[in-house]
Chain A
Amino acid sequence: MSGLFLIALNAVLIENYVLVRTIGCCPFLGVSRKTDTAMGMGMAVIFTMTLASGITWAVDHLILVPFKLEYMRTVAFILIIATLVQFVEMALKKILPALYSALGIYLPLITTNCAVLGAALDGITEGYNFIESVVFGMMSAVGFALAIVLFSGVRERTAGNDIPKAFEGFPFALVSASLLAMAFTGFSGLSI
């Protein structure tokens, strides 16, 4: 049990995907203008990453490893993730239309979110078992959601600020992200 807790703590804070390992920056910078959209994106990522980690683990251990097809991992995983996102989209539309209308537009974007593929591949390289992989995937996604929601708060607050013209838009977002990342380096000293 404590093993799982450590994996979770590590994934959310110490090795935060966005702010420490810089995986998944595109949606982090792209859809963080408003807290509502950031929240939606975060939820959609948590949902897909948890599912994707479990399914890719199963495919890796039941199909790729027994048939010695490990070199196909990247191709297989990206296919699984792309299909999964499509299925999740269709299933949500049918079963939970309310959730679909909240998450709908973010779902297609997730296919190219490198955090999903990154967590699936990391789970395999770390040698996690099924439960650990799922927890790792889910908690990495929680870390992503935490980062994007915090960041959207910063961006909402600073939206009307008077800043040098050259820094308007993207550069300003990057510098704010840098300060947020500095806060997260504080967690790296956490000894567990």
Chain B
Amino acid sequence: MSEEKLPLGRVLMNGLIFENPVFVQLLGMCPTLATSTTVANALGMGLSATAVLIGSNIAIAALRRFIPEKVRIAAYIIIIAGFVTAVDLLLQAFLPELSESLGVFIPLIVVNCIILARAEAFASKHGVLPSAVDGLGMGLGFTGALLLLATIREILGAGTWFGIPILGEAYKPMITMSTTTGGFLVLGCLIACVQAISQRSQKKEASK
């Protein structure tokens, strides 16, 4: 367990852009596809996951010296499950409508690979503060990816953005975009864009 000094800004940007959990690491596909049908759902899911991610990263970083190596995965899952339950109960109490529309996907944050991956790859090796920042960066990167996906899907699938009609009466919604089919398709195209950009920048570097 080496303690290296990391610039916090770099850690934050890592999660947001360079190692974006959805577009670059390709993690957490299920909630990404399922809750990006509307912008409101995407925002709710993204922020819930961010809250869990920050909480679990802090707890795991604080306890990293006490958790035995052999049972660490089980210990991480329990810690994550605790935070997920807290978020679930808070949503039920204060935002019952959102809780209703996200349904089973809130408890399913437990098995969201992004959270376990950050626990294993970052929080177990770094201090409390960098881990919290990493949780924030990854969470916001996840939220941003969800919002981008949801914006495309909601505008094409319903002609609205955050419930506000923007394409006018004449627009006939492409209902497919709100179904799973549209989710897979839009996400596939977005990741293809990311790959195209990274291929181009690699080519530029090679020609220099």
B-binding residues in A (CB < 8 A): 19-26, 29, 71-75, 78-79, 82, 111-114, 117-118, 121-122, 125, 164-175, 177-179, 181-182, 184-185
Contact = CB atoms under 8 A, between A and B. Distances in A.
A22 B104 contact: no
Nearest to B112: A114
B6 to A, nearest CB: 27
Contacts of A173: 188
Contacts of A164: 192
If over half of B's interface residues share one DSSP class (helix, strand or loop), that class is named, otherwise mixed; here it is helix
B192 A78 contact: no
A71 B85 contact: yes
Given A74-B110, A78-B81, A25 B30 contact: yes
A93 B192 CA distance: 42
Nearest to A79: B78
B166 interface: no
A24 B107 CA distance: 14
Nearest to B191: A171
B81 A178 contact: no
Given A121-B108, A167-B188, 4 more contacts: A113-B111, A117-B107, A171-B195, A177-B188
A181 B78 contact: no
19 contacts: A21-B34, A26-B30, A74-B84, A74-B85, A75-B81, A78-B81, A111-B77, A118-B108, A122-B104, A125-B104, A165-B196, A165-B199, A166-B196, A171-B189, A172-B188, A174-B188, A178-B185, A181-B179, A184-B180
